Amino acid sequence: MPHVALLGDSIFDNRSYVGAGPDVIAQLRQALGAGWAATLLARDGDRIGGVPQQLRRLPADVTHLVVSVGGNDALGYSGVLNLGTPTIAEALLRLASVSAEFEDSYAAMLDGLSATGLRLAVCTIYDPAYPDAVRQRAAATALKVLNDPILRLAAERGLPVIELRLVCRSPEDYANPIEPSVQGGRRIAAAIAGLLRHHAFETGRSTIYL
């Protein structure tokens, strides 16, 4: 039986944010049906550096890995947005430094996951849902410098990608500005299930899933 493990942060581990509603792992199990097993290893609050520890709890019969991580790393970098700079060029250089640091961490994580020999898929970081339009626009723009390395690294390694920015797009998809609601979780679970059912991992081709 194929068996998928979810790694990462609260995008998958959203139990605390949905009240009595089903979380992502419950909705994924329903979406996949009886022919699949699904295990949640992701932990709310974890960053990229926490994924190797999650991997230590990997069940022996897992066949597929899906990872969604980086949002909490992005929050750690958010102070950069409040730093004053005399020129646009200097602001861009600061963002470039953040992007390079993020890329190094993400690449190292992917190397560790790839070393398992299991079929692997990754997710981009979705845009938040801040009610303040200025904050929302700034955050979504800044996240582009982190999503670019995710997409590029996935393409280099021939990994399929779930583009979460196109999965969760309405206010109802969010339980709060940064966590998925029951509706958002259902859309995330459907995207994962679609990828697992349809992606030809053996081709080594990177494909975007919504």
Q: How many folded domains does the chain comprise?
A: 1
Give pLDDT < 50 ranges for the chain: none
**In CATH, what number is assigned to the domain containing residue 159?**
3.40.50.1110
Could you tell me if 6 and 28 are in contact, meaning their C-beta atoms sit under 8 angstroms apart?
yes
Strands (E), the chain: 3-8, 37-40, 64-68, 119-123, 161-162, 174-176, 179-180, 208-209
**Cβ–Cβ under 8 Å, residues 4 and 65:** yes
Q: What is the pLDDT of residue 79?
A: 64
Take residue 142 and report the two structure tokens written for it: 């800044």
Helix (H) or strand (E) holding 32: helix 24-32
pLDDT of residue 75: 85
Q: How far are the Cα atoms of 32, 90, 188, 205 from residue 121, in angstroms, in the given order?
A: 16, 35, 13, 11
Hey, CA dihedral for 93, 75, 112, 61, is it positive or negative? negative
SS3 label, residue 67: strand
Residue numbers of the domain that contains 43: 3-209
Structure tokens at 19: 């009240």
The pLDDT, as a whole number, for residue 96 is 75
Dist CA 115 CA 136 (whole Å): 37
